[in-house]
């Protein structure tokens, strides 16, 4: 009796694996951008996994592609770097968690607006895990708590791979924001987890970021390596 051929069902495509990197010491901005650009190009070529890099910078101001020079109120206070990300002026410094997000959007829908919405969802979910209710403000990018901004978003997409990402104020010196009009919002104060008397341990914040990321974006985190 002839054997009947078995119907072969295709296996479901595996979830994308995202590599997580974390730097223990503040990383100079130019060095970080060069490393991010290199990794993003490798992701675009299919030579590296998608990546989220958690880090801090020394105190700096960055100028996005929509920045107005008049919004730099103290030009000699900290180094100012032109950035390829969207947005206006922002501050980075110790106590602020930055997540550079290098994701392959060609496998995630090629929808930049939806991607930014997902970044907002990620920050809101992270804050919820830390006991804070984050919210959107219509017409503004970023996340707010009781009217004050706690997290910023600035991205660039090259060859359908995302670059730059988000920053979350954990325990930075909030007075440092006074040298700029943060994100062009002259009437909006800035706040932090510390100011809200929430969790400020960076390891706990990183754990919340990773757990919330998997909720929003899916995919298994394959490692959490120290870099640079």
- CATH number for the domain spanning 58: value is 3.30.930.10
Domain containing 140 equals 18-226
Would you say residue 10 lies in a domain?
no
Determine contact, residues 212/129, Cβ cutoff 8 Å.
yes
Instruction: Report the C-alpha gap between 56 and 110 in whole angstroms.
Output: 29
**Catalytic residue list:** 183
Instruction: Report the C-alpha gap between 166 and 46 in whole angstroms.
Output: 24
Q: What is residue 1's predicted lDDT score, i.e. its pLDDT?
A: 31
Instruction: Report the C-alpha gap between 205 and 77 in whole angstroms.
Output: 29
Enter the pTM of the model. Answer: 0.88
Q: Is 223 exposed, middle or buried (0-12, 13-18, 19+ CB in 10 A)?
A: exposed
Tally DSSP H helices, then E strands, for the chain. 3, 10
Taking only the tens of pLDDT, the chain with its 228 residues reads: 332 333 444 444 455 589 999 999 999 999 999 999 999 999 999 999 999 999 999 999 998 888 788 889 988 899 998 888 877 889 999 999 999 999 999 999 999 999 999 999 999 999 999 999 999 998 888 999 999 999 999 999 999 999 999 999 999 999 999 988 877 666 789 999 999 999 999 999 999 999 999 999 986 555 555 554
Would you say residue 2 lies in a domain?
no
E strands in the chain: 18-22, 50-55, 60-63, 80-82, 89-92, 96-102, 143-145, 148-158, 161-169, 221-226
Length of the chain: 228
Would you say residue 8 lies in a domain?
no
Q: DSSP per residue over 10-77, as a string?
A: PPPPPPPPEEEEE-SS---HHHHHHHHHHHHHHHHTTSS-EEEEEE--SSEEEE-TT--GGGBS-TTT
Q: What is residue 16's predicted lDDT score, i.e. its pLDDT?
A: 58
Instruction: Report the C-alpha gap between 71 and 76 in whole angstroms.
Output: 13
Angle 174-113-191 from CA coordinates, rounded to 5°: 15
Would you say residue 189 lies in a domain?
yes
Q: What is residue 195's predicted lDDT score, i.e. its pLDDT?
A: 97
Residues linked to residue 154 through DSSP beta bridges, in sequence order: 165
Q: What is residue 88's predicted lDDT score, i.e. its pLDDT?
A: 83
Would you say residue 13 lies in a domain?
no
Instruction: Report the C-alpha gap between 129 and 180 in whole angstroms.
Output: 30
Would you say residue 48 lies in a domain?
yes
Would you say residue 118 lies in a domain?
yes
Instruction: Report the C-alpha gap between 152 and 120 in whole angstroms.
Output: 9
Would you say residue 7 lies in a domain?
no
Q: What is residue 9's predicted lDDT score, i.e. its pLDDT?
A: 42
Q: Tally the domains of the chain.
A: 1
């Amino acid at each position: 009796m002839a054997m009947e051929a078995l119907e072969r069902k295709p296996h479901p495509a595996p979830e994308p694996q995202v590599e997580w990197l974390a730097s223990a010491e503040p990383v100079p901005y130019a060095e970080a951008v060069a490393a991010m650009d290199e990794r993003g190009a490798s992701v675009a070529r299919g030579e590296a996994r998608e990546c989220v890099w958690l880090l801090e910078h020394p105190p700096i101001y960055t100028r996005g592609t929509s920045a107005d020079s008049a919004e730099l109120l103290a030009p000699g206070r900290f180094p100012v770097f032109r950035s390829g990300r969207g947005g206006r002026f922002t501050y980075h410094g110790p106590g602020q968690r930055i997540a550079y997000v290098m994701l392959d959007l060609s496998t995630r829908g090629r929808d930049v607006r939806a991607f930014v919405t997902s970044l907002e969802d990620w920050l809101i979910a992270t804050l919820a895990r830390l006991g804070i209710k984050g919210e959107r403000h219509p017409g503004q990018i970023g996340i707010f708590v009781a009217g004050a901004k706690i997290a910023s978003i600035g991205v660039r997409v090259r060859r359908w791979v995302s670059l730059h990402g988000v920053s979350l104020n954990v325990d930075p010196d909030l007075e440092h924001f006074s040298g700029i009009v943060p994100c062009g919002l002259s009437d909006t104060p800035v706040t932090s987890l510390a100011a809200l008397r929430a969790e400020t341990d960076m390891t706990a914040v990183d754990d919340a970021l990773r757990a919330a990321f998997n909720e929003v974006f899916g995919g298994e985190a394959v490692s959490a390596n120290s870099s640079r």
